[in-house]
Amino acid sequence: MPLLDVSELLTDPDFADTITVYRQAVTIGDTGRSGRAETATSTVAVVTPDQWSTLQRQAEGSNVSETITVITQFRLIASMDGYDADEIAWNGKRYVVRAVGDCSRYGAGFVEASCDLKGMSPP
């Protein structure tokens, strides 16, 4: 087990940032159509670029791909019964949580999430 607890560093305002997490509850109505109820929560996280913006040209058109890594004590979800993947608002862009890993061995309750840019970012 690692002996280094990085909790203090990961919550330090000089190192961490504030993000907004959008959690979307999904329900199925009587008509069989799905509905969403979105809640927003602000929390502290360390955000780092995972993969810089890359342009992908395809026959159908161009697409910009960008990913970030988010480390936080907020329990992010990529999939769960009754919920769609969390979305993160950071630096004027919105990202979708793709994968979540448990990092609690390095500090109580921390998770690390890989997030993909949602839609195209403005120029």
CATH of the domain at 83: 2.40.10
Q: Is residue 69 part of a domain?
A: yes
Q: Structural domain tally of the chain?
A: 1
Strands (E), 3-117: 17-28, 34-58, 61-72, 87-90, 93-102, 111-117
Tokens of 97: 């949580």
Taking the model in full, what pTM does it have?
0.81
> Is residue 2 a part of any domain in this protein?
no
Q: Is 1 among the domain residues?
A: no
For residue 54, give its domain range.
Answer: 7-117
One pLDDT digit (tens) per residue for the chain, 123 residues = 566 677 777 888 888 999 999 999 998 888 888 888 999 999 999 999 887 767 777 787 777 778 999 999 999 999 888 999 999 999 999 999 999 998 877 777 889 999 998 876 544
113 found inside a domain? yes
In a domain, 73, yes or no: yes
